[in-house]
Structure 1
Amino acid sequence: MREKILVDLLLDCKEPISLSDIAKTLGYSESTIRKLIKETMITSEKHGFIIELLKGKGYILSVLDKQLFTKYQDELGCEIDVLNSDQRLEAILFHILQADGYITLEELAERILVSRSTVTKDLVAVKEKLAEYQLELVKRPHYGLKIQGKEWNTRKAFSRYVLHSKLYLEPTAQYKNFLKNCETEKLSEFLRSLIDQKQISVSEVIFENLYTHLKIILFRAMQNNYIKEDQIKIKRVDEIFEETALELADWIEREFGLKLPKAEVDFLAAHFSAKSKTKEIKVRSQDRLFKDLKEILDILDEEFLTNFSNDQELILGLSLHIYPLLERLYYNLQLENPLVDEMKLKYTNVLVVSFRFGELIEEKYGYTLTRDEIGYIALHLAAHFEGEKQLLLDKVKRIVVICSTGGGSAHLIRLKLEKLFSSALIMTVSNRNIAAFKEELPDLFLSTIPMEKEFQGVPIIQIKNFLDEREIKHIKDLTTQQISARKMNSRVLGLRDLFTEPYFNIQKNRQYLEMIREQSDRMVQNKIASEDFTDLVMERERRFSTIYDKGIAGPHPISLGAKHNTVGVTILEKPIYWQQREVRIIFLINLKKGHLFLHKEISRFLALLMDDEKLIARMIRAQTFEEFIKIIDEIITEA
């Protein structure tokens, strides 16, 4: 399975790709990828390809024999890891959603290459997944299994588990035949030309959403499955969207011989209305929307100590996004977001605020946002945070960089920092000459050698000798943290300060939510967390799990309100599973209002941990808090 994913990635890359980029894309450590490449190369030539390492550039795949390589791809194409319950679950949904009518347990077992009893056991989880789409799995003696529910909900599940499946599975004969006979490329070309002709503004992501919906319409219509008029309430949309839907329906009838009923055409018009970018909002609607957004952002500012409500550019950007979003919510047509999984760790601090934004939208309009839609809101808020960060960096006027000699390496560092701190005067000195600045202190010290955390009240930030993009970003984050902390008259906490022995424990095989609840309750009882902390953590976890890759989980409340910044740690003697995801270490995050920057530091720490399987293994073997904290200190030192 891993080999298939690696080969496909290299095949898609027209330029060499570095080891670190491969590891980041596939979600494995660099050592695992190095080993995987080595194992793949052992037999690659007999399969008609080679993987080469171009010095200073990265890896590239070259096909030597197209016939051999095609055969190799076909052999790998339908494999899944049958020992992986997540993959079995997705495989069952992949096949059952393509069925036109009933499908037997024997058919599913044969396609997935597992026993009938294994499929039967997996159906419990299958029913839970279908219930998320308001669908039911019914069983009829001598017939088999069949999905029941509203057509639109079936299409949403079809999109997720068939069109966007991450597994390498062969489609059923019926769906494969549809793909073969249906000229979907022609459909894509016509849709794009029609959108251009009608001057409807859509992003590439939204175009793909519309195109996906049309492919599903065609496949389901060929099975005589249509949206029924009594299943959804259609409201009148702008004339331009009605015209577009009618022209598209006429073209589908000419090309594919399928006459879409009125409810389908109306629903198509609703799709265009709900997914198009809106350049102009009606005056009355705009006034109300601006007022509502201002109220929501005022609440967020109070709860998170942010400054959203004074950012007019943010309010305008959100209004242009929310206006069609409300249409999508009305029809339950929420967008899929290809970036949301990547954002889950990279923008944890922003997502905390975005989830609260979603709650406030629900309170005001009665609509619940999906994780994908919340991800789009997070992009708007992330842009605001970046702007605020740059304003803080522009306030830094004098920086002293401390090096062991103050020589050539210091000069290189200074040149890179001048791009980051465009308004600052940057000086470089050796550590022996720091006393010279006692009378005329800079705004900030940056040091490549270990020093105290401050000098004469001015913070000293530890940096590396060589500033790559990752380190520059880290300096940017740490600097803004220091400035924000000084504005709040508080001390900047380091990652090390968040871990204490009372909230470190080792557990045997127990329920995931039970362990989180117990640790949360202990923080509440010890008065370091707010009284509603446990409820807020459980709500966040039930709605959108915070289990990341490699068995690392980072549960946290849906809003901040700690009395003392703390991260509780639970190490599991053996892995457990929740929502078909492995859990090995739980980091329960409890942060004060206004300390979103610490969420970012914790996310950075978790990302570093997930990059190193050996480090995770060492952490799991830790039997005492002292052993655990020693590993934390090593990560901080090497970061």
Structure 2
Amino acid sequence: MKDKKYQVLTYLSQQKSWVTAVEISVALSYSVRSVKSYIADLNSAYPDIIASSRNGFLLENFSLASQILNTSPSSIPQNSEGRISYIIKKLIMEGLSYNLDQMAEDLCISPLTLTNEISRLKSKLGEFDLVFKSKNNIGSIEGSEKNKKKLISHLIYEDTKDFCCNLESLQVYLPNLDLKIVKHIITDILLKHQLFIDDFALMNFILHVGITMERSREGASSKESLPENVDDIIAPFILEIMEKMAKEIKQYFNITLTSGDIYDLSLLLMSQVVPENLMDSKKTSLEDVITPEIHELIELIQNKVRNTYRFNLNSQDFILRFALHLRNMLVRLKHNIHLRNPQFLTIKNTCPFIYDVSVFIADIINQREGCILSEDEIAYIALHIGVLIEEQRALMNKVMVLIVCPQYYSIHLNLVKKIGMIFEDDIIIAGVISSSDEIINYKDYQFIISTIPIIPHPSVPLIQIPVQMGNKDIGAITSVIESIKKQQLKMKMENKLKFLFYEDLIFFNQDFPSEKEAITFMADALEQQGFVDADFKESIFERESISSSAYTNIAMPHPFEMCSKQTAIAVSVHPSGINWKNNKVNIIFMLAIQEDDRPIFRDIFDFVTEIISDNRYLHALVSTKSYQEFIDLLVSLV
């Protein structure tokens, strides 16, 4: 199979919805005809791996795609990153003694190119306190076993992150172990001890257990013994659980984990599990599960988020679950345990506002605890914040509905109950009446659901349904609800757009080598126009240092605080894209928000997210060449 087919398969594996051949061709710079040909070849080799319809193409079998991409004979790595990964796998994961001349020959590169790759490899190994050494022209990687395991974990994660680290994709890297049995051992013991672990953490733990078992099988176990104060570091029941897991691993696989292995895995397990009885907020009070330190940290986060973003994190369910998460997170920080989140980019790119709030919270934790949270940890915070924010958003965005249904035995009550259950996240029932004559008594409603004709037609949308509401009627009601919600956002944003953008603050095709030059240029423009103070630029760089503000093809740099003299949005449009850390962005929206305009901050994020979720809209905006053209198109997209 050719590399281009792999690239098409990789692209499809990163999509969550249908994509057209045109969209794939634009993303990968192939012709539409070639894209369709590659997909046909893939389906021929692997029947029904990719579904096709009028909507385009959709990957059907992620597990199979993971195996194809991770085991493919695309033989020889074609870039530096691939070659370094190849060398690490050979020297550590396969434990080979590798002759450097043979290494160059296997990679189809010259000895000089190999020397350059080894130089880059040494830099990579330095991140894990490992070193590359050669003696008699034989290459090896030396360092502690713990650091080698960290490097292997990092390598596997980077290769499998597009598949959310499912068991099948991990299995490719540990072919000598049956990870289904490993998973069964872990989950069975945790269930018996009534411990809860979320799916992401479970995959992470299985990966580390698998790596430890493989290294032990090769005679490279941790030689460290348990520290004397182990009971002060790890709860005794966690050590007991890990010892039970080690005993079953010995029974099933004939692999013996050393006391050092058990200690390392116990530390990781302690930072990821929660007693199941603590997950119920109705039975558990906050004081039962957290220390005063965490209680103070949560109060600090609540106060700062309320002051900065104007919404409350004051929900008992949220506070309890987030407190338990913070407790485990602080354990990970204390013991330098890195927890991967395979959905990091998905969370960041699909929920930019929620992610931004999470970056803000991470900065609070960083300053309070004197640490630096990774973007993976920030994404875990986003999962917690996202649930709460979406609940609040759903309540705010609910549509007021008036139901007209003549009373007949209990039929009308059953219908109202059914409507309420199906659309509980989207509507508030303003009233239930039996005659159209009673409509005049109600004012706060946005559309009407009726089982009888209403004449004359009301000024709001009307859906007439039978008493026995069917799927077609549910679809019609859903369509009206979505239409009303979009109209609400449109009305809200149309007025705001007129005073957010200024002709002197929209730039086209500026030549920025990286995000640093772009931020400097745009912040200086805002300062020259009198919208911000001189320290605005440094505040943006401070925010960027924690996590990039790039979301797929756009960037929205802004400071944590709403510190502008006057609200404005500077824009820079780049059809060819500019480098923004690990992204290539086509549009930059620099947000300068005044304190009094704080409530519109979330609306801006929501609006921009809506635009970038549709490639057609993004492409149209990137194609504009003047202020008026850009603004007219932006307003038309609301």
TM-score by length of 2: 0.71
C-alpha distance in 2, partners of 1:21/1:425?
Answer: 44
> Partner residue of 2:300?
295
Give the aligned residue type for 1:248. M
C-alpha distance in 2, partners of 1:361/1:303?
Answer: 16
C-alpha distance in 1, partners of 2:77/2:154?
Answer: 20
Which of 522, 528, 531 lines up with 2:531 in the alignment? 528
Classify the secondary structure of the residue corresponding to 2:571. Answer: strand
> Partner residue of 2:406?
none
Which of 151, 162, 165 lines up with 2:156 in the alignment? 162
CA offset digits 1:514-557 (Å, max 9, x no partner): 222232233244342355432232233333233343x5434333
> Partner residue of 1:211?
206
> Partner residue of 1:336?
340
Give the aligned residue type for 2:345. D
Where in structure 2 are the equivalents of 1:186-585 lying within 5 Å? 186-227=181-222, 229=224, 235-278=232-275, 279-280=277-278, 283=288, 285-308=290-313, 310-393=314-397, 420-424=426-430, 476=485, 479=488, 494-495=496-497, 497-505=499-507, 506-508=509-511, 510-529=513-532, 531-549=534-552, 551-572=553-574, 575-577=577-579, 579=581, 581-585=583-587
- Tell me the percent identity: 20
Superposition deviation, residue 353 in structure 1: 1.4
C-alpha distance in 1, partners of 2:57/2:12?
Answer: 8
C-alpha distance in 2, partners of 1:630/1:343?
Answer: 30
Classify the secondary structure of the residue corresponding to 1:298. Answer: helix
**Closer/same/farther in 2, CA of residues 341 and 105 from structure 1, 3 Å limit:** farther
Superposition deviation, residue 275 in structure 1: 0.9
Number of equivalences: 566
Q: Which consecutive residues of structure 1, in runs of 5 or more, have no partner in the other structure? A: 64-68, 169-174, 400-413, 428-436, 447-459, 461-465, 486-490
Which of 606, 610, 613 lines up with 2:612 in the alignment? 606
Superposition deviation, residue 270 in structure 1: 1.9
Classify the secondary structure of the residue corresponding to 2:550. Answer: coil
C-alpha distance in 1, partners of 2:49/2:218?
Answer: 44
C-alpha distance in 1, partners of 2:516/2:346?
Answer: 24
Superposition deviation, residue 40 in structure 1: 2.9
> Partner residue of 1:403?
none
> Partner residue of 1:454?
none
**Closer/same/farther in 2, CA of residues 590 and 81 from structure 1, 3 Å limit:** farther
Classify the secondary structure of the residue corresponding to 1:423. Answer: strand
**Closer/same/farther in 2, CA of residues 157 and 600 from structure 1, 3 Å limit:** farther
C-alpha distance in 1, partners of 2:390/2:147?
Answer: 37
Classify the secondary structure of the residue corresponding to 1:507. Answer: coil
TM-score by length of 1: 0.71
Superposition deviation, residue 226 in structure 1: 4.2
**Closer/same/farther in 2, CA of residues 392 and 534 from structure 1, 3 Å limit:** same
Give the aligned residue type for 1:296. I
C-alpha distance in 2, partners of 1:56/1:381?
Answer: 36
Q: Which consecutive residues of structure 2, in runs of 5 or more, have no partner in the other structure? A: 163-169, 279-285, 404-418, 434-439, 449-460, 462-474
User: Aligned-residue CA RMSD in angstroms?
Assistant: 5.2
C-alpha distance in 2, partners of 1:426/1:90?
Answer: 65
CA offset digits 1:549-594 (Å, max 9, x no partner): 3x54343334544444433333447555454543444333334434
Which of 74, 77, 93 lines up with 1:79 in the alignment? 74
**Residue pair 1:303, 1:560 contacting (<8 A) in 2 also:** yes
C-alpha distance in 2, partners of 1:353/1:396?
Answer: 29
> Partner residue of 1:625?
627
> Partner residue of 1:430?
none
C-alpha distance in 1, partners of 2:369/2:628?
Answer: 50
C-alpha distance in 1, partners of 2:351/2:43?
Answer: 42
* The 10-residue stretch of structure 1 (249-258 or 122-131) with the greater mean CA deviation from structure 2: 122-131
**Residue pair 2:506, 2:570 contacting (<8 A) in 1 also:** yes
Give the aligned residue type for 1:38. K
> Partner residue of 1:40?
38
Superposition deviation, residue 382 in structure 1: 1.8
CA offset digits 1:412-459 (Å, max 9, x no partner): xx99999723234799xxxxxxxxx9x99767799xxxxxxxxxxxxx
C-alpha distance in 2, partners of 1:273/1:150?
Answer: 23
C-alpha distance in 1, partners of 2:303/2:476?
Answer: 38
C-alpha distance in 2, partners of 1:469/1:124?
Answer: 59
**Closer/same/farther in 2, CA of residues 267 and 47 from structure 1, 3 Å limit:** closer
**Residue pair 1:137, 1:145 contacting (<8 A) in 2 also:** no
**Residue pair 1:560, 1:591 contacting (<8 A) in 2 also:** yes
Superposition deviation, residue 298 in structure 1: 0.9
Where in structure 2 are the equivalents of 1:163-178 lying within 5 Å? 163-166=157-160
> Partner residue of 1:185?
180
Give the aligned residue type for 1:135. D
Superposition deviation, residue 299 in structure 1: 1.8
Give the aligned residue type for 2:246. A
Classify the secondary structure of the residue corresponding to 2:589. Answer: strand
C-alpha distance in 2, partners of 1:529/1:82?
Answer: 49
> Partner residue of 1:19?
18
**Residue pair 1:499, 1:567 contacting (<8 A) in 2 also:** yes
C-alpha distance in 2, partners of 1:41/1:178?
Answer: 26
C-alpha distance in 2, partners of 1:84/1:474?
Answer: 48
Give the aligned residue type for 2:129. L
Give the aligned residue type for 2:38. T
C-alpha distance in 2, partners of 1:207/1:388?
Answer: 29
Superposition deviation, residue 348 in structure 1: 1.1
C-alpha distance in 1, partners of 2:85/2:22?
Answer: 24
